[in-house]
Amino acid sequence: MNKRKAILPIMILGTGALSLVYKIWLYKRIKELEHKTKELAHYHNDFCLVQGKCNKSMDEQIINIQEEIGSVYEHIEGLLDMQETKYTDEKECKKENSYCDKDLEKQNKQLSKKQKGGKLWHMYQSQKI
């Protein structure tokens, strides 16, 4: 019976010691996980800042492209108007048997004043479509 009485307190002390060791290990693990969580939060914030800069840059590029597309459409409309005018003048010239280059030059000057120098217009002038 003495052995039973001696084993019971030893088991209780052993279980208490193991639970204490487990609590210490658990506390260290929680601190480690909190540290890793803070690091992840820091990395996440850095990522969000970088992504925000990329998004801002992309938005600026999209706006520039939209403006360029708008100006290209304006130039195309101007060229189409000029082409329609040219064909109309050519038909009138054929009817009258007269030479129309002077009228076309006037129209080109008027169109260039309206356009005020876009890329497409300069390409048109350099290639003389």
pLDDT tens digits along 101-124: 556 666 666 666 555 455 555 554
What's the pTM? 0.46
Mention every residue, 6+ apart, whose C-beta is less than 8 A from residue 124. Answer: 75, 79
Question: Average model confidence (pLDDT) for the chain?
Answer: 80
Report the pLDDT averaged over residues 69-94.
77
Where residue 94 falls among pLDDT bands split at 50, 70, 90?
A: low
Question: 78 is in which domain, residue-wise?
Answer: 2-127
Q: Give the separation between CA 64 and CA 57, rounded to whole angstroms.
A: 11
How do residues 3-24 score in pLDDT, each as one tens digit?
Answer: 777 888 889 999 999 999 999 9
In the chain, the number of structural domains is 1
Exposed, middle or buried, 28 (CB in 10 Å: 0-12/13-18/19+)?
Answer: exposed
Q: Give the separation between CA 121 and CA 76, rounded to whole angstroms.
A: 9
Q: Give the separation between CA 69 and CA 34, rounded to whole angstroms.
A: 51
